[in-house]
Amino acid sequence: MKFTLSWLKDHLDTDASPAEIGRKLTELGLELEGIENPADKLAPVRIAHVVEAVPHPNADKLRVCQVDTGNGQSVQVVCGAPNARAGMKVAYAPPGAHIPGSGITLKVAAIRGVESHGMLCSARELELGEDHDGILDLPADAPPGAPFAAWIGLDDPVFDIAITPDRADCLGVAGIARDLAAAGLGTLKTPAAPSIAGDFACPIAVHTHDPDGCPAFLGRVVRGVRNGPSPDWLQRRLKAIGLRPISVLVDVTQYLMIDRARPLHVYDLARLTGAVTARRGRSGDSFEALNGKTYAPSEAMVVIADDARVLGLGGIMGGEYSGCTEATTDVLIECALFESVRIGETGRALNLNSDARARFERGVDPAGLDDGLALATAMILDLCGGTPSESILAGASPRFDRTIAYRPARTLALGGLAVPAADQRAILERLGFTVSADDEPWTVRVPSWRKDVEGEADLVEEVLRLVGYDHIPSAPMPRADGVAKPTATPVQARLKRVRRTMAARLRRGHHLEFHCARGCRTVRRRCLDARQPDLRRPCCHAADPARRLARAAQRNRDRGADSVRLFELGKRYRAMDDGFERLTLPCWPPATSRDATGPPQGKPLRCVRRQGGGARGT
């Protein structure tokens, strides 16, 4: 999960430094993986003023520019950009600066006999875009000598944190800000979702025919929008965290997914036929996804479809056909809820990952549908214009109503740290829990965005991580008097003897004998299931261990081992065991002889008996 400092400050009023924020994130369990400031690589670049630009005496396409760098000095720069002219404000990189877009480090050089001190940079050379037709032409009020990165707004550190599967709420910047505010690093100021009334009835119907996979589908039409490139502030934020701006309609959904952990989707209304429905996949269904690949959903998957075709995989990825383009004027906004297990199974089955899947798979706030749709509508109206319809809902969002009986003394019993009851209540309330502490045990109501909190121990964890795990005192484990008793179970001890015996016998090249699982006398290897495993059949009972041992033997041979003797001890199912899992002992070479060839055979283990100093029965 990536976000910028300025983005965080939209939700958190704080004066903490990036380093302080990073340390607190790790203390809260949101492990910091790194902080990177995009301005660092452009630190030498300054705003400059081109005082004079004259033709190069020895080259028609070059110009010799006198550049005021803002420190009272003028430097000479040879520039080949067609738009270089006197009077313009530019981004100037001095000698010694590294140009990230071209990978070169500047030095004073003579170009066609004229000395050049530095470079006037284009957008591509500074990795600010793909434009390379000319140098950056900055506004007239750009101050010469000022750091270019700070002036353009690039001095904005990017945080990269690792989110554990239980913290779905922190896959949004608002959730991260809530945790930091609760830890005392600032004041939470997340803007509330607006209330937007519709000007007309929604002209398209929505349905959910798979309430288990898609319990709720909320939608709204906005007519008369103008789609195009997003404003600079939105593009910069998305680029800073590694997302590619596409168009303002699509970028709004990307922004809110990161900002509020709320995946959304926008359809071009003109491309829809009939009602939009969340249903299970059917035989013959297929669609081209936004990643350019074609998928055929199975009956276990949730798809979004109209009356004519599949439009996308619910909660994972939309389709190319119904996507928005510059010609789009009317849109349908989808704000739906999808069941997390089904999303995970679908993504794994199709090997399809997306930011939406990552959030639905962990569990999106079921109470956030109305706010999500309102936020998306407000941004689209602000950036694209248009007129909104009334919202329309299919299904119903599952009601989340979980209360936990909590005893404050459990922080000491379970966590080893005594925390005053008043402090515990304040911590839980800052995290969004509702606490009724009139009697003990307390009644704590869990907020809808914290589905991971299920019992009293989870509340203890919340209190302790906010107080700080480093405050928990160290305590030695009690040690019983006398000699420590063996900890291995009889089965573990038996398997240890089997491994030692097998290793010794294979090393000496002795014959091994096995006790037949059917109860007959001790016989040679081929008494039990003498069939050779069919390595071409994945379901063959001995194929997997045979392949593993054969591969291991080949690796050892490749590394110069003259003699390869291996065995494997593990469980597998065999037809003769009536469906029960039995321990088996495949070995290489096969058990009858050290010189035998052929794939390994697996033998069920029953017991280990000592006879003549070796393992007679296994």
Contact 214, 393 (CB under 8 A): no
Q: Are residues 228 and 91 in the same domain?
A: no
Domain end point (choices 395, 430, 449):
395
Q: Mapping DSSP to helix (H, G, I), strand (E, B) and coil, where does residue 97 land?
A: coil
Mean pLDDT for 135-141 is 93
Which CATH number does the domain housing residue 385 bear? 3.50.40.10
Q: Are residues 363 and 504 in the same domain?
A: no
Q: Are residues 359 and 252 in the same domain?
A: yes
Q: Are residues 169 and 107 in the same domain?
A: no
Which CATH number does the domain housing residue 84 bear? 2.40.50.140
- The dihedral through the CA atoms of 253, 259, 262, 263 has a sign that is positive
Q: Which of 327, 324, 292, 298 is nearest to 313 (CA)?
A: 298
Q: What is the 8-class DSSP label of residue 514?
A: B
Backbone angles phi, psi at 280, to 5 degrees: -80, 155
Q: Does any domain span residue 194?
A: no
Mean pLDDT for 393-412 is 94
66: domain range? 41-152
Angstrom distance (rounded) from CA 262 to CA 490: 52
Contact 343, 147 (CB under 8 A): no
Contact 31, 50 (CB under 8 A): no
Backbone angles phi, psi at 310, to 5 degrees: -80, 135
Q: Residue 103: is its pLDDT beyond 80?
A: yes
Mean pLDDT for 560-566 is 77
State the DSSP string of 324-382: --TT--EEEEEEEE--HHHHHHHHHHHT---HHHHHHHH---TT-HHHHHHHHHHHHHH
Contact 332, 204 (CB under 8 A): yes
Which residue in the block uniquely carries the two structure tokens 């301005």? 39
pTM of the full structure? 0.75
Mean pLDDT for 327-348 is 95
Q: Are residues 247 and 266 in the same domain?
A: yes
The model's pLDDT over 49-95, given as tens digits with 9 standing for 90+, comes to 999 999 999 998 899 999 999 877 889 999 999 999 999 999 999 99
Angstrom distance (rounded) from CA 367 to CA 361: 16
The model's pLDDT over 274-314, given as tens digits with 9 standing for 90+, comes to 999 999 999 999 999 999 999 999 999 999 999 999 999 99
Q: Are residues 496 and 568 in the same domain?
A: yes
Q: Does any domain span residue 379?
A: yes
Q: Give the ranges where 53-172 is alpha helix by DSSP (H).
A: 148-152
Residue 603 confidence class, pLDDT cut points 50, 70, 90: very low
Which run of H or of E encompasses 47? Answer: strand 46-56
Q: Does any domain span residue 169?
A: yes
* Residue 613 tokens, joined: 């100093």
532 burial level (CB within 10 Å; 0-12, 13-18, 19+)? exposed
At residue 616, the pLDDT reads 34
Which CATH number does the domain housing residue 436 bear? 3.30.56.10
| Average confidence score pLDDT of the chain | 86
Backbone angles phi, psi at 342, to 5 degrees: -65, -40
Contact 252, 243 (CB under 8 A): no
Other C-beta atoms closer than 10 Å to the C-beta of 426 total 15
At residue 502, the pLDDT reads 80
Which residue in the block uniquely carries the two structure tokens 């109470």? 367
67-82: burial string, b at 16+ Cβ within 10 Å, e else = bbbeeeeebebbbebe
Specify the pairing of strand 392-395 against strand 89-93: unpaired
Domain end point (choices 395, 411, 434):
395
* Residue 8 tokens, joined: 């965080």
Q: Are residues 30 and 54 in the same domain?
A: no
Q: Give the ranges where 385-487 is alpha helix by DSSP (H).
A: 410-415, 421-430, 456-467
CA dihedral of residues 207, 348, 543, 587 (deg, nearest 10): -140
Mean pLDDT for 242-265 is 96
Amino acid found at 455: G
At residue 511, the pLDDT reads 44
Q: Are residues 263 and 339 in the same domain?
A: yes
At residue 545, the pLDDT reads 65
Angstrom distance (rounded) from CA 574 to CA 584: 10
The model's pLDDT over 497-544, given as tens digits with 9 standing for 90+, comes to 888 888 887 766 554 433 333 333 333 333 334 344 444 444 444 456
192 burial level (CB within 10 Å; 0-12, 13-18, 19+)? exposed
Q: Are residues 389 and 441 in the same domain?
A: no
At residue 561, the pLDDT reads 80
Residue 573 confidence class, pLDDT cut points 50, 70, 90: low
Q: Which of 337, 336, 330, 335 is nearest to 388 (CA)?
A: 330
* Residue 257 tokens, joined: 């997914």
At residue 615, the pLDDT reads 35
Mean pLDDT for 381-400 is 95
Q: Residue 572: is its pLDDT beyond 80?
A: no
Q: Are residues 502 and 604 in the same domain?
A: yes
Q: Are residues 378 and 254 in the same domain?
A: yes
Report the phi/psi class of residue 463: left, alpha or beta, with left for phi > 0 and alpha for psi in -120 to 50. Answer: alpha
Which residue in the block uniquely carries the two structure tokens 């010694």? 96
Rounded alpha-carbon distances, angstroms, from residue 316 to 11, 227, 297, 301, 358? 27, 23, 12, 11, 8
Angstrom distance (rounded) from CA 253 to CA 260: 10
Q: Does any domain span residue 200?
A: no
Q: Does any domain span residue 201?
A: no
Q: Does any domain span residue 321?
A: yes
Q: Provide the domain count of the chain.
A: 5
Q: Which of 365, 295, 304, 358 is nearest to 333 (CA)?
A: 304
At residue 350, the pLDDT reads 94
Q: Which residues, in sequence order, are CB contacts of 304 under 8 Å at separation 6+? A: 265, 276, 277, 278, 310, 311, 312, 313, 314, 318, 334
Angstrom distance (rounded) from CA 457 to CA 269: 49
Does 381 or 133 have the greater pLDDT score? 381
Angstrom distance (rounded) from CA 186 to CA 183: 8
Q: What is the 8-class DSSP label of residue 147?
A: B
At residue 154, the pLDDT reads 85
Domain end point (choices 341, 375, 395):
395
Q: Does any domain span residue 193?
A: no
Contact 566, 553 (CB under 8 A): yes
Q: Does any domain span residue 223?
A: yes
Which residue in the block uniquely carries the two structure tokens 């452009």? 42
Q: Are residues 15 and 63 in the same domain?
A: no
